[in-house]
Amino acid sequence: MTAQQTQLEYLPPDLKRELLPKHVAVIMDGNGRWAKRQGLPRIMGHKRGVDALKDLLRCCKDWGIEALTAYAFSTENWGRPQEEVDFLMTLFQRVLRQELREMVEENVQIRFVGNLSSLPRALQAEISRSVEETKNNRSIRFTVATNYGGRQEIVQACRAIAVEVQQGLLQPDEIDEATFERHLYTTGISDPDLLIRTSGEMRISNFLLWQIAYSEIYITDTLWPDFDRSEFHRALCDYQQRERRFGKV
């Protein structure tokens, strides 16, 4: 049986393969509120959030979605209590170490977007290792936005372009959308077709500002740790009803 046939078998019958988003991006919000509702400390919500992300990655792979991008930590999240920030950094490091073998076996390619150089050294090392060991994998492209901010990404792209102009490698009037895209962290990854935000907040929170210009947005009240396959199925059904016009008629 080919990989394609396996995927077709897994795909729920009410979803149309030809209308699946190629790239899904998620703002995984509501871990803290989930924990609070259970009478648990916020960090327990983050732990459960990891399980929800693992399930979603597996589901995307099973259903033949080519790319998944998840917002794990924003440039603004450093402003949280130090214990929560420390817990998250350690959690990211531990999960990466634990999951690497499975990602390799499952043919998952992982990459990271964001200002990685200011993450803890040990986490940077784990990131480099996972990126290197999965770089030739092709079943799904999994991108994790860590210390990511859309504005920061745009500013660093401007700086890099300015340096090229200063060095005489580029003329200002040669700068176009393609030039700009090449300097974004996400270069080489298609723009998200579908952006999902959990926990009901109607905002973007500095995520992929350039890339979501024409993404379809789906917001659910479900808190991230409760976002499961059936919730994702619902989001995809909703997406498949949309008419994407891209400014045309």
Phi-psi category of residue 167: left, alpha or beta, with phi > 0 → left and psi -120 to 50 → alpha: alpha
Residue 33's closest CA among 46, 24, 20?
A: 46
Q: Which of 29, 147, 193, 206 is catalytic?
A: 29
Near Mg ion in 39-98, by CB under 5 A: none
Q: Is 112 in the site for ligand IPE (CB under 6 A)?
A: no
How many chain residues are in contact with ligand IPE, going by CB under 6 A? Answer: 17
**Options 14-22, 95-103, 152-160, 195-203: segment touching ligand IPE (CB under 6 A):** 195-203
Q: Is 151 in the site for ligand IPE (CB under 6 A)?
A: no
Question: Min. distance of Cβ 112 from ligand IPE in angstroms?
Answer: 13
| Coil vs helix vs strand at 206 | coil
Q: Is 83 in the site for ligand IPE (CB under 6 A)?
A: no
Of ligand IPE, Mg ion, none, which one does residue 51 interact with (CB within 5 to 8 Å by kind)?
Answer: none
Torsion of Cα atoms, 7 then 107 then 146 then 149, to 10°? -60
- Give, in degrees to the nearest 5, the angle at Cα 227 between 223 and 230: 140
Q: Is 199 in the site for ligand IPE (CB under 6 A)?
A: yes
Please name the residues in contact with 173: beta carbons below 8 A apart, sequence gap of 6 or more: none
Residue 24's closest CA among 37, 15, 33?
A: 15
Of Mg ion, ligand IPE, none, which one does residue 74 interact with (CB within 5 to 8 Å by kind)?
Answer: ligand IPE
Q: Which is nearer to ligand IPE, 31 or 130 (CB)?
A: 31
**Options 25-33, 43-51, 83-91, 96-104: segment touching Mg ion (CB under 5 A):** 25-33
Handedness of CA 209, 26, 17, 6 (dihedral sign): positive
Q: Is 47 in the site for ligand IPE (CB under 6 A)?
A: no
Active-site residue list: 29, 77
Binding site for Mg ion (CB under 5 A): 29
